[in-house]
Amino acid sequence: MLLEGKKLLITGVLMDSSIAFHVARLAQEQGAEVVLTSFGRTMRITQAISRRLPAPAPVIELDVQDTGHLETLAERVGEHVDHLDGVLHSIGFAPQGAFDFLGAAWEDVATAMQVSAYSLKALAVAALPRMSAGGSVVGLTFDAQYAWPVYDWMGVSKAAFEATSRYLARDLGPKGIRSNLVSAGPISTTAAKSIPEFGQFAQWSDHAPLGWDIKDPVPAAQACVALLSDWFPATTGEIVHVDGGFHATGF
């Protein structure tokens, strides 16, 4: 029971193929109480998917581009749990125009950066009134040290996202709160389908020393659960790679 008694806020549960869904499932199996977020037309989908968890979880509305949602988040979370021990950031979006690096308009880039990078800080600050020493913020990234094919401004947003986590580690550390990321290999989630030519990543397993199953989100979810637990009490500002070892090799 790695998370026994913990209370977690988990974003990004859309389908049961998502990493966030499996984080929520594993967290409950390890003893945590979970609150989910969603917004707009996806609220009903998340509510339906939540019923596939070991225990149905409440779903509160959170659009990270809506300042009103962020300002009232702690209060609304308090309707379900009295405090938070951890937050999972599993949020990312870029308009189609942002997947054309040279041709992208600033409006598309700005949206990608706000939703996919700045939102980590915004979410952490919004949840902070419910968190105390020992808390953990965990986010999901896709290794931003490379210029990937087709990823374009989403890749730049992930680089900003990774830097944001380091600055959060700096500023939340004195409060006893950690900020870490899991860098997952490519996984066939709903979000991945919006990336043009995502199929190029199907060859990932050919270069990963441990191999890689593009359809299996569980290893990444397990790493998130571990970082949300008390088993990494002195680790912050870190990026844990869960990619079959791809990041450590050339070819």
d(CA 230, CA 248): 27
DSSP label at 118? Answer: I
| Alpha-carbon distances of 73 from 6, 44, 80, rounded to whole Å | 18, 19, 12
Binding site as annotated, residues: 12, 18-19, 63-64, 91, 94, 158, 187-191
DSSP label at 246? Answer: G
d(CA 86, CA 235): 14
For 37, what's the count of Cα atoms within 13 Å in the CB-facing half-sphere? 22
Q: Match 């300002």 to its residue by tokens.
A: 71
Binding site as annotated, residues for substrate: 94
d(CA 23, CA 10): 8
Q: Phi and psi dihedrals of 126, rounded to 5? A: -65, -35
Binding site as annotated, residues for NAD(+): 12, 18-19, 63-64, 91, 158, 187-191
